[in-house]
């Protein structure tokens, strides 16, 4: 029976070295709890000797009641082989009071001589004494063999000698690190297998993604004998990032049938991925394998028709296994299957057998004009409900005027004036804003908030403009895509016009109508005759 795989998460340490990633102590504590709920074995919290924030994290994390995970502190070997017991870095690692310590040392002669100025024997002793010192204090030591693959390719005997020094010092797991992330998959496989033949005991893999091979290299190392896997959620990390555990884990469990030490809740994988991005204030990558919004999204008519018959035709796993869901997009590539699927997803009944055919034709004509519905699900839903349920907009804009002032003194001012009819009442309002679109948005909300207070909770999350024909220059048609959210859900709407203000107003109006319709349907009863 194959040895169970140990999962080691370094999002809170290696992941925070990624550009644009910064986590507060509270952020790190929240992520720690989520990783523990998921079933992670070891969570590397940081380097106690590098900054006060990490030292504070290790103090506060002790109060968490973790169910499965062990907390790990990270640091380097001592600076001098003869002064290990007095080394400040090692003593800070001990003061972190974690049951596990990951200790890195040089296994590439280029580094040990060039960076530390040590002879081979001195570097070997430094690794041995540093690991031994921590082991004598009762800590489990995982040795991270820094630049191991580069070091092995340079001199296999030197690299193996440093691994043996760590093992003889008491390290129970030797992690082979592709620190520069430049090794090819066949190299990782061959070298890991070679180490496996020469050294007994658990081996691990720590891969970086500079060649876009971190996931492949990690899986190859496991196939070659590694039983300890390191990585980060969403592949966060320095330069191009680390091995992405959100990809590595489902491949290990679902494809390679590897057992993990702790039982994982794979159905929470997508939520975990999005949670970490949200805490780190990052935008989730839609095309991420397994957990991305597009991972199980189908657009082509033939694909959708096949998925309706049996999802296995175009899905390598059921999306529910990793907590994701299937999406069908409607566009000019769509067939009638897309329309039927989308209607069913929205709970709409198609009673007219010609509806799907006619709606597909309508969508293709609108997309020919410049609309795009695979990125504007909110507008698409309103169109379908208009044809199938008789939906009508909750308000009508009868007049819109935008004034923009820019002068040589640096003044920059925008004001929108609107007349908006709701039922039998007309609101005449004006509002300024941070540019003409902002002014329009503010004026529209001001006009209808007293009728529809639910719109107060929504915010504009994204605004995109695309010129549809370069040949027409500044007179070209433009498409405006707006993404809006209310803290629980987000939706996108679209507008198209030669006038960017008009296109923006279309998208903004659909966005507000979408929220009002959903609130009316789910939360309260409205007098639709009054609003007609």
- Residues 253 and 158 placed together within one structural domain of the fold: yes
Range in 187-201, 282-296, 421-435 with the lowest mean pLDDT: 282-296
Query: Does residue 290 sit within a domain?
Result: no
Among 244, 279, 314, the domain boundary falls at 279
Mean pLDDT within 45-68: 90
pLDDT of residue 213: 98
Give dist(CA 21, CA 37) in Å, integer.
Answer: 23
pLDDT of residue 133: 96
- Residues 106 and 67 placed together within one structural domain of the fold: yes
- 110 by DSSP, 3-state: which? helix
* CATH at 441: 3.30.160
- 175 by DSSP, 3-state: which? strand
- Residues 412 and 271 placed together within one structural domain of the fold: no
Higher pLDDT, 80 or 339: 80
Q: Do 508 and 441 meet the contact criterion of CB atoms below 8 Å apart?
A: yes
pLDDT of residue 474: 61
Q: φ and ψ at 211, to 5 degrees?
A: -100, 15
pLDDT of residue 335: 52
Query: Does residue 144 sit within a domain?
Result: yes
> What is the rounded end-to-end Cα distance, in angstroms, of the chain?
69
Query: Does residue 287 sit within a domain?
Result: no
- 6 by DSSP, 3-state: which? strand
Mean pLDDT within 431-458: 90
Would you place residue 183 in the very low, low, confident or very high pLDDT band (cuts 50, 70, 90)?
very high
Would you place residue 308 in the very low, low, confident or very high pLDDT band (cuts 50, 70, 90)?
low
Q: Do 15 and 206 meet the contact criterion of CB atoms below 8 Å apart?
A: no
pLDDT of residue 530: 41
Mean pLDDT within 294-303: 69
Mean pLDDT within 209-219: 97
**In total, how many domains does the chain have?**
4
E strand or H helix at 493, and its extent?
Answer: strand 490-497
- Residue 244 pLDDT more than 80? yes
- Residues 406 and 339 placed together within one structural domain of the fold: no
pLDDT of residue 333: 46
Range in 149-158, 159-168, 365-374, 477-486 with the lowest mean pLDDT: 365-374
- Residue 209 pLDDT more than 70? yes
Give dist(CA 99, CA 492) in Å, integer.
Answer: 47
- Residue 28 pLDDT more than 60? yes
pLDDT of residue 527: 46
Query: Does residue 165 sit within a domain?
Result: yes
* CATH at 213: 3.20.20.70
Would you place residue 526 in the very low, low, confident or very high pLDDT band (cuts 50, 70, 90)?
very low
- Residues 232 and 355 placed together within one structural domain of the fold: no
Enclosing domain of residue 136: 6-279
The structure tokens 């891969």 sit at: 207
- Residues 137 and 46 placed together within one structural domain of the fold: yes
pLDDT of residue 332: 44
- Residue 525 pLDDT more than 50? no
Q: φ and ψ at 261, to 5 degrees?
A: -65, -45
Read off the DSSP letter of residue 242.
B
- Residue 1 pLDDT more than 60? no
Query: Does residue 1 sit within a domain?
Result: no
pLDDT of residue 327: 66
Query: Does residue 151 sit within a domain?
Result: yes
Q: Is 411 exposed, middle or buried (0-12, 13-18, 19+ CB in 10 A)?
A: exposed
Q: Do 203 and 174 meet the contact criterion of CB atoms below 8 Å apart?
A: yes
pLDDT of residue 356: 60
Would you place residue 171 in the very low, low, confident or very high pLDDT band (cuts 50, 70, 90)?
very high
Among 451, 472, 493, the domain boundary falls at 451
DSSP-derived secondary structure for 348-412: ----STTHHHHHHHHHHHHHHHT--STT-HHHHHHHHHHHHH----S-EEEEEEEEEEE-TT--E
Q: Which of 157, 200, 209 is nearest to 178 (CA)?
A: 209
Query: Does residue 195 sit within a domain?
Result: yes
Give dist(CA 142, CA 265) in Å, integer.
Answer: 25
pLDDT of residue 259: 95
Mean pLDDT within 225-240: 96
pLDDT of residue 329: 58
The encoded tokens of residue 30 equal 């929240």
pLDDT of residue 300: 59
- Residues 259 and 116 placed together within one structural domain of the fold: yes
- Residue 528 pLDDT more than 50? no
- Residues 380 and 402 placed together within one structural domain of the fold: no
Higher pLDDT, 145 or 411: 145
- Residue 94 pLDDT more than 90? yes
- Residues 499 and 478 placed together within one structural domain of the fold: yes
Mean pLDDT within 467-473: 66
Q: pLDDT per residue over 385-410, tens digit each? A: 877 777 789 999 999 999 988 887 77
- Residues 182 and 228 placed together within one structural domain of the fold: yes
The encoded tokens of residue 439 equal 């002014």
Give dist(CA 481, CA 80) in Å, integer.
Answer: 59
- Residues 415 and 331 placed together within one structural domain of the fold: no
Longest CA span, the chain: 90
Q: φ and ψ at 45, to 5 degrees?
A: -90, -15
Higher pLDDT, 462 or 143: 143
pLDDT of residue 459: 86
pLDDT of residue 306: 67
Q: What is the 3-state secondary structure (H, E, C) of 416-480?
A: EEEEEEECCEEEEEEEEECCHHHHHHHHHHHHHCCCCHHHHHCEEEEEEEEECCHHHHHHCCEEE
Among 433, 451, 469, the domain boundary falls at 451
- 261 by DSSP, 3-state: which? coil
Would you place residue 307 in the very low, low, confident or very high pLDDT band (cuts 50, 70, 90)?
low
Query: Does residue 103 sit within a domain?
Result: yes
pLDDT of residue 532: 40
- Residue 434 pLDDT more than 80? yes
Mean pLDDT of all residues in the chain?
Answer: 86
The encoded tokens of residue 306 equal 């096949």
Higher pLDDT, 392 or 185: 185
Q: pLDDT per residue over 99-124, tens digit each? A: 999 999 999 988 777 677 788 898 99
- Residues 160 and 261 placed together within one structural domain of the fold: yes
Range in 250-259, 303-312, 440-449 with the lowest mean pLDDT: 303-312
């Amino acid at each position: 029976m194959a040895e169970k795989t140990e999962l080691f998460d370094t999002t809170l340490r290696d992941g925070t070295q990624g550009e644009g990633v910064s986590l507060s102590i509270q952020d790190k504590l929240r992520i720690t709890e989520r990783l523990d709920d998921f079933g992670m074995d070891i969570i590397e919290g940081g380097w106690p000797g590098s900054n006060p924030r990490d030292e504070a994290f290790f103090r506060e994390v002790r109060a968490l009641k973790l169910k499965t995970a062990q907390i790990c502190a990270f640091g380097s070997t001592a600076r001098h082989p003869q002064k290990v017991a007095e080394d400040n870095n090692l003593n800070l690692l001990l003061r972190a009071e974690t049951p596990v310590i990951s200790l890195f040392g040089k296994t590439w002669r280029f580094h040990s001589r060039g960076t530390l100025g040590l002879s081979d024997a001195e570097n070997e002793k430094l690794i041995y004494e540093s690991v031994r010192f921590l082991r004598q204090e009762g800590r489990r030591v995982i040795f991270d063999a820094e630049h191991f693959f580069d070091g092995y390719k340079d001199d296999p005997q030197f690299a193996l000698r440093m691994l043996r020094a760590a093992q003889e010092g008491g390290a129970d797991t030797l992690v082979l690190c592709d620190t520069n992330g430049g090794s090819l998959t066949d190299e990782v496989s061959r070298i890991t297998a070679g180490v496996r033949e020469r050294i007994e005991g658990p081996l691990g893999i720590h891969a970086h993604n500079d060649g876009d091979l971190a996931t492949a290299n990690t899986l190859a190392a496991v196939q070659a004998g590694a039983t300890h896997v390191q990585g980060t959620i969403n592949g966060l990390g320095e330069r191009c990032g680390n091995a992405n555990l959100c990809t590595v884990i489902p491949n290990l469990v679902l494809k390679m049938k590897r057992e993990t030490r702790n039982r994982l809740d794979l159905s929470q994988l997508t939520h975990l991925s999005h949670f970490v991005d949200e805490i780190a204030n990052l935008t989730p990558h839609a095309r991420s394998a397994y957990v991305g919004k597009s991972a199980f999204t189908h657009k082509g008519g033939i694909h959708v028709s096949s998925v309706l018959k049996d999802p296995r035709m175009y899905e390598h796993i059921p999306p529910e296994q990793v907590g994701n869901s299937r999406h069908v997009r409607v566009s000019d590539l769509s067939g009638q299957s897309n329309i039927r699927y989308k209607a069913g997803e929205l709970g709409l009944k198609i009673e007219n057998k010609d509806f799907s055919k006619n709606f597909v034709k309508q969508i293709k004509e609108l997309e020919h004009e410049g609309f795009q519905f695979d990125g504007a699900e909110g507008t698409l839903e309103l169109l379908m409900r208009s044809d199938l349920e008789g939906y009508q907009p909750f308000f009508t804009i009868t007049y819109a005027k935008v004034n923009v002032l820019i002068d040589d003194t640096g003044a920059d001012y925008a004001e929108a004036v609107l007349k908006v009819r709701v039922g039998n009442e007309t609101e005449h309002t004006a509002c300024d804003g941070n540019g003409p679109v902002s002014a329009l948005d503010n004026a529209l909300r001001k006009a209808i908030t007293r009728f529809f207070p639910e719109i107060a909770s929504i915010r504009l999350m994204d605004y995109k403009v695309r010129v549809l024909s370069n040949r027409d220059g500044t007179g070209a048609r433009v498409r405006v895509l707006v993404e809006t959210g209310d803290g629980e859900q987000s939706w996108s709407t679209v507008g198209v016009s030669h006038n960017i203000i008009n296109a923006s107003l279309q998208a903004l109006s659909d966005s507000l109508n979408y929220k009002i319709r959903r609130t009316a349907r789910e939360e309260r009863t409205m007098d639709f005759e009054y609003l007609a």
